[in-house]
Chain A
């Protein structure tokens, strides 16, 4: 057998890691003889996925679009707030402590409040996804804008550039790599937000599925839900990672 090139190794590595994890998982469960209703193995989980693909699929779809809507709101708000916060040192100083304080609140604490306001279901899930995901976007966009070289600003200002000109010509394009980098993080956080809310305040979605399956001791189905949610998050992460490297390729070539 020919030794693999470094390149091929790099490509295979993540898949190899997944396979090793699955093998170890199944192996440990079998060796210790853990009962299925406590900690199901890979095979049991896969069986559950296949047998219940329809309800799992429906709940997954619910979680997916809820997450995407929450994420999109997060992007809009994050971008807007990021521009406001990053546009002047004064705003930066004024807003940053508030944002950090807000970010430190566990978002699950908001769910009961949201349920009082909006009832259980999709709306609190969307809002929780939004609340949890906009922070990294704000921070990154603001950082991108705030780290603009003062010389660059002088070059433009002396020509009579208005704030908006500087923002559109230099500030925003310059902060795009920061922005796209934050989207990767934000989309995975949005999934966390949705599932957390569904777990306590919904009768739809993967979070709800896991909660109700868990209460009936159907652990393989709970794990099927876990796998589904992480696969969705991983795929979306890859989508945004791909966008990042293709839209702002110039940032990685220096």
Chain B
């Protein structure tokens, strides 16, 4: 049924898109029940290609964060299989970087030391860190500079604004060159201007490195502006109701968000979500 929905609703997707690489994240009939209260997420079938930027939208509690946990191997599925890079996922995937709505920076570390935290954990950096500390510091500094935080490397998180903390958090997620970046409502707590600024920062980082991104968001404009593919999820138990390709040319400009094509897309998605909220899933 889900597949039928996808086939019916998806925008014309006949031409294979230039950006899509080999299949990277594959969900096959995946369901997850945390406890006996029933499935949190149900019957998920999808393929995310390498270098693809996908966004998940859906009502809160529908299982978006659960999807993230399955992707990264932090939680195993109850049914079905999750593959990343051809391998069945059985435990935490070190090729992942994560950032969340609250920046979760450690208040006793400077911005630079916060960004370098993953290097103290993940191999092979962990082994090399002591010897090549300077090289790693330089790398972290370069990353901070690309997001405009060069001058704040030695500041503590409480000295940064919310937007700056979120930039640092994204740097922390990227410092070990992950192939998969997982963002769970990363800009949800920011004001509209800062949020749009960070869209720019994120798309620049992505254009430069082309890692695979899974973004969970409540903001349809955000999803449409950033993503190659948008998945719309149903209310709990979360199912994929719709897969929508977004073919706006890249690099994208904020002006895009005021074009009719863009607003039409938002309007359309808005209608779908409205239908879900009213319980009309079809």
Q: Using a CB–CB distance below 8 Å, which chain A residues touch chain B? A: 149, 151-152, 154-161, 165, 169-170, 173-174, 248, 250-251, 253-254
Chain B 115-131 interface mask (CB, 8 Å, partner A; 1/0): 00110111100000000
Q: Do residues A151 and B108 form an inter-chain contact, with CB atoms below 8 A? A: no
Contacts of B121 in A (CB 8 A): 156, 159-161, 165, 169
**B182 — nearest CB in chain A belongs to which residue?**
A158
- Among B93, B118, B172, max chain A CB count under 10 A is at B118
Shortest CB distance B161–A (Å): 14
Distance between Cα atoms of A81 and B99 in the complex (Å): 32
Contact of A158 among B72, B104, B123, B172 (CB under 8 A): B72
8 more CB-based (< 8 A) A-B contacts, given A156-B117, A160-B92 = A154-B69, A154-B100, A158-B96, A158-B98, A159-B176, A160-B122, A160-B123, A250-B108
B135-173 interface code vs A (CB 8 A; 1 in, 0 out): 000000000000000000000101000000000000011
> A residues within 8 A CB of B117?
156, 169
List chain B residues, Cβ under 8 A from A165: 121
Query: Which of B73, B104, B120, B173 has the most A CB atoms < 10 Å from its CB?
Result: B104
Q: Is the CB of A158 within 8 A of B156?
A: no
User: Which of A155, A165, A251, A254: most chain B CB closer than 10 A?
Assistant: A155
List of B residues within 8 angstroms of A248 by Cβ: 108
Assess the B73–A158 pair: CB atoms within 8 A: yes
Q: How far is the CA of A155 from the CA of B74 in the complex (A)?
A: 10
Residue of A nearest to B94 (CB): A160
Q: Are A254 and B158 in contact, with the CB atoms below 8 A?
A: yes
Q: Is B271 part of the binding interface, using a Cβ–Cβ cutoff of 8 Å?
A: no
Closest 9 CB pairs of A and B: A159-B122, A151-B100, A159-B121, A152-B104, A250-B108, A161-B121, A158-B92, A254-B158, A250-B107
Q: Are B102 and A158 in contact (CB under 8 A)?
A: no
Q: List 20 A-B contacts (CB under 8 A).
A: A149-B102, A151-B102, A154-B100, A155-B99, A155-B104, A155-B172, A158-B74, A158-B96, A159-B92, A159-B121, A159-B176, A160-B92, A160-B94, A160-B121, A169-B120, A169-B121, A174-B106, A250-B107, A250-B108, A250-B158
In the bound complex, residues from chain B placing their C-beta under 8 Å from that of A253 are 107, 156, 158
Q: How far is the CA of A215 from the CA of B73 in the complex (A)?
A: 71
Chain A residue nearest to B117 (CB atoms) is: A169
Query: How near does chain A come to B45, taking the closest CB pair, in angstroms?
Result: 23
Q: Which residues of B contact A (CB under 8 A)?
A: 69, 72-74, 92-94, 96, 98-100, 102, 104, 106-108, 117-118, 120-123, 156, 158, 172-173, 176, 184
Residue of B nearest to A253 (CB): B158
Which A residues touch B156, using CB under 8 A?
A: 250, 253
Q: Pick the contact of B106 from A151, A173, A254 — CB < 8 Å?
A: A173
A174 contact set on B, CB distance < 8 A: 106
Contacts of B118 in A (CB 8 A): 155, 159
Given contacts A159-B92, A159-B94, contact A173 B120 (CB under 8 A): no
Q: Which residues of chain B are within 8 angstroms of A170 by Cβ–Cβ distance?
A: 106
Contact of A157 among B92, B106, B173 (CB under 8 A): B92
Contact A154 B74 (CB under 8 A): yes
> Could you tell me the distance in whole angstroms from the C-beta of A174 to the nearest C-beta in chain B?
8
The smallest beta-carbon distance between B93 and chain A, in angstroms, is 6
Q: Given A158-B94, A159-B122, A169-B121: A254 and B107 within 8 A (CB)?
A: yes
In the complex, A170 Cα to B120 Cα: how many Å?
A: 12
Report the separation of the CA atoms of residues A156 and B104 in the bound assembly, to the nearest whole angstrom. Answer: 11
Q: CA separation between A170 and B172, bound complex, in Å?
A: 15
The answer to whether B107 and A251 touch across the interface, beta carbons within 8 angstroms, is yes
Measured CA separation A24–B225 after assembly (Å): 73
The residue on A at minimum CB distance from B99 is A155
Q: How far is the CA of A250 from the CA of B156 in the complex (A)?
A: 9
A158–B184 Cα gap in the complex (Å)? 14
Q: What is the CB-to-nearest-CB distance from B265 to chain A, in angstroms, rounded to a whole number?
A: 30
Complex Cα gap A251–B96 (Å)? 30
Q: How far is the CA of A197 from the CA of B72 in the complex (A)?
A: 56
Contact B98 A155 (CB under 8 A): yes
Q: With CB as the reference atom, state the residue of chain A lying closest to B68.
A: A154
Residue of A nearest to B106 (CB): A170
* Cβ-closest chain B residue relative to A149: B104
Q: Are A173 and B94 in contact (CB under 8 A)?
A: no
A26-B57 Cα distance, complex, nearest whole Å? 74
Residues from chain A with Cβ under 8 Å of B96 in the complex: 158-159
Residues of the A chain whose Cβ atoms lie less than 8 Å from the Cβ of B184: 151
